Structure 1
Amino acid sequence: MATFNELLADTLRVRTLRLLRVDAGQRKEIIGRLRSLQQNLLGELAKADFGTRPDLQQARIDALLVNATELIRETYAGIRTWSKSQLRELAEIEAAFAKSTLNRTARTEIASRDVPAATLDILATQVAIDGSPAEAWWAKQAGDFRARFADLIVQGVPAGRKIDDLVKDTRKLGEMSRRNAEALVRTAVQKVANDARIESFRANRDIIKGIMQLSTLDGRTTVTCAAYSNATWDLDFNPIPPTKLPWNGGPPRHFNCRSTTTPITKSFRELGIDADELEPGVRASMDGDVPADLSFDDWLKSKDKSFQDDLLGVGKADLWRRGKLSMADLLDEQGRELTLAELKQRYS
């Protein structure tokens, strides 16, 4: 019989994978904007006539870079604004999901407190990734894009490089910007979702005593997340023995991190109730134990075929069952993205 905390962990593992489909939708939107930026820059290059006279050449280079700088600024400003609104909505959805999961698993209302709207605002606008705010990462990506494009032009044109060569390098630069943006979107989605759920757990500290990290254990797991697997902290983020590792902001702990957290509920006796089990008909025992460590691969194998198909998509699930796909392949949900509305309606 699964414990209450094991059922919670099971639900949150699924939720983390659902979010991969949400960030796929957000990545699609942002990649579309960056592709438009690339096309606009290529358009500026196509109509450029730098000539050979040094004085005219420099003036035309300067004019091109003024236009390019404005295009880059506008694109990334729009991305930052759009991303912030999406993250704010996600924070609200995930905080509500955490509360409803506690109640749905217990089959009674044990969690009654909501996360204040002001806290959710802060989570969405000040989301920190690898020690820096997401907005700072977007600003850095914009600055890097502008600097690299400027280097291509400033160094390439006087050296006599052909427009076709500059176009090829601009396309490569565009590909790099899209990869960087994908990593940032994926990590920001997981960070905001995880932090919103934690705030919901903290708001209901009368029934929850701690937090545990769940690391996806496969060939892509970093040493850091492997070391943090099943580490536990109290709701003030102090390590619970035998854990000695500091919280350090919690998951995601790096770009593209797939780790998440699960709550550790108090036992009935810790709640002042002289009982070991929930009411008849409820599957989980409320013993306060933390869930056992389990690799993602073994966890997914324990699920039935319909669950695997729904989670991964029929095609991927079939290939995974036949050993044709690695875990790394399974954890990329591009092509089956979910909108925030779909996430709220189907999985809350």
Structure 2
Amino acid sequence: MATVNEQMQEASIGHAVDLQHLSNAEVRKVMRLLNSVDADLRVKLMEAIERLGPDSYTTRHLNTVLASVYELNKSVYASIGEAMAESVVSIGQYEAGYQGALFAKVIPAQVLAQVRLSTVSLAQVRGIALARPFQGRLLKEWMGDLEAGRAAKIRDGIRMGMVEGQTTGQIVRRIMGTKAQGYADGMIARSRHDVESMVRTAISHTAQGVRESYYKANSDIVAEVSWLSTLDGRTSAPCRLRDRLIYTNDDDHAPVGHKVPWLSGPGKLHWCCRSTSTPIIASYEALKQAKGLPEGVRASMDGQVPQSTNYGEWIKSQGAARQDQVLGPARGKLLRDGGLDLDQFYNDKGKLLTLDQLREQDAAAFGRAGL
């Protein structure tokens, strides 16, 4: 039978995968908001450029004619900010509830009868989500910066176009991009990537912050914390270095048995960090409150750090339904029946290969998988 800490690690890896799917859904929601104003933005840009005229181009006049563009830009980022504030608080509440349910499920009832679990309040969740900076700024500050950054790109695009003598249509295409390229060639395309990074980072920051608060609130039973990195072709070098390292369960997060610093912590170490953590539950002998427990319960509470299981090993150990949920049906079959490992789904730069690229790379694997 798996020990408490082995069960905790297994659940933490699966939960991290689920949070990535949640992040994907939040990104799609925010992108729909951003895309919803594209048609209006294009019209307002064309109107502004026509009013600007090549003979009356000054910075003051430019800012005047772009007033409606700026207002539309400000409005959509305000909507994104409101949606994100609501989302991260909800995700934080979910995380607190998940941790409570996980502890109640994994830790033997005989132990919980003697050791009371504490919770993370809504006020604490809101503070973590909205009042703690990530990557140097609060959520509302990042929204202001992103709005200003896109406005500056629009302004710069018009300036360059006017200097180069481009037509109105050429300037708009330069800023917005072309349909043939999926608008990825426009100057404001970078803004979409920046928003996506902000969404993913805000979610991981909130979830990990709540996780850490829950561990600290239950420090009488959570002895230490283990860093868990999602080891695949996209994992950053700092996260690979810290995978499975142990830290103290306090504000300092001091290294245990090594010298690698915690820094900001998993999920917060860098932009779009996918690392997470798992609690190391104290052994039966270390629990002062728990006495007279059955031998089987005592054995499950051994306090040992589980053996390392990376993401690739974890996904291989899951059932077909879970593999298909995480990877998609085709890649799930390639993993199960095609003989491919997780890392083979990515190129040397950590980008997920398309199915066509995978087929070109290893057609035999598709044959083995019956695809």
Q: Do both share a fold (TM > 0.5)?
A: yes
Moved more, 221-230 or 38-47: 38-47
Residue in structure 2 matching 1:267, options 257, 280, 283: 283
Q: Structure 1 residue 227 and structure 2 residue 241: aligned?
A: yes
Q: Which amino acid aligns with 1:173?
A: M
Give the whole-Å Cα distance in 1 for the aligned partners of 2:297 and 2:243. 32
Query: What root-mean-square deviation, in Å, do the aligned CA atoms of Structure 1 and Structure 2 show?
Result: 2.7
Partner of 1:338: none
Shift of the 53–207 alpha-carbon distance from structure 1 to 2, 3 Å rule, reads closer
Deviations 1:58-79 (A, max 9, x none): 7763333211211111111221
Shift of the 278–170 alpha-carbon distance from structure 1 to 2, 3 Å rule, reads farther
Shift of the 95–53 alpha-carbon distance from structure 1 to 2, 3 Å rule, reads closer
Shift of the 57–297 alpha-carbon distance from structure 1 to 2, 3 Å rule, reads same
Give the whole-Å Cα distance in 1 for the aligned partners of 2:57 and 2:242. 59
Q: Structure 1 residue 206 and structure 2 residue 220: aligned?
A: yes
Q: For structure 1, which runs of at least 5 residues remain unmatched after alignment?
A: 333-348
Partner of 1:345: none
Partner of 1:258: 274
Shift of the 276–262 alpha-carbon distance from structure 1 to 2, 3 Å rule, reads farther
Shift of the 277–221 alpha-carbon distance from structure 1 to 2, 3 Å rule, reads farther
Q: Which amino acid aligns with 2:12?
A: L
Give the whole-Å Cα distance in 1 for the aligned partners of 2:116 and 2:40. 51
CA positional deviation for 1:264: 0.8
Shift of the 41–297 alpha-carbon distance from structure 1 to 2, 3 Å rule, reads same
Give the whole-Å Cα distance in 2 for the aligned partners of 1:277 and 1:136. 54
Q: Which amino acid aligns with 2:29?
A: E
Partner of 1:294: 309
Partner of 1:314: 329
Give the whole-Å Cα distance in 2 for the aligned partners of 1:130 and 1:58. 33
Shift of the 277–183 alpha-carbon distance from structure 1 to 2, 3 Å rule, reads farther
Moved more, 117-126 or 238-247: 238-247
Would the aligned equivalents of 1:114 and 1:200 in 2 still touch at CA under 8 Å? yes
Identity value in percent: 26
Q: For structure 2, which runs of at least 5 residues remain unmatched after alignment?
A: 177-185, 355-371
Q: Which amino acid aligns with 1:142?
A: E
- Point out which structure has higher relative CO (alpha carbons under 8 A, 6+ apart): 1
Shift of the 127–326 alpha-carbon distance from structure 1 to 2, 3 Å rule, reads farther
Would the aligned equivalents of 1:38 and 1:170 in 2 still touch at CA under 8 Å? no
Give the whole-Å Cα distance in 2 for the aligned partners of 1:299 and 1:221. 15
Would the aligned equivalents of 2:52 and 2:62 in 1 still touch at CA under 8 Å? no
Give the whole-Å Cα distance in 2 for the aligned partners of 1:42 and 1:66. 14
Q: Structure 1 residue 75 and structure 2 residue 76: aligned?
A: yes
After TM superposition, the score normalised by the length of structure 2 is 0.80
Alignment of 1:328-343 (within 5 A): none
Moved more, 66-75 or 101-110: 101-110
Q: Structure 1 residue 16 and structure 2 residue 16: aligned?
A: yes
Moved more, 181-190 or 121-130: 121-130
Count of equivalent residues:
329
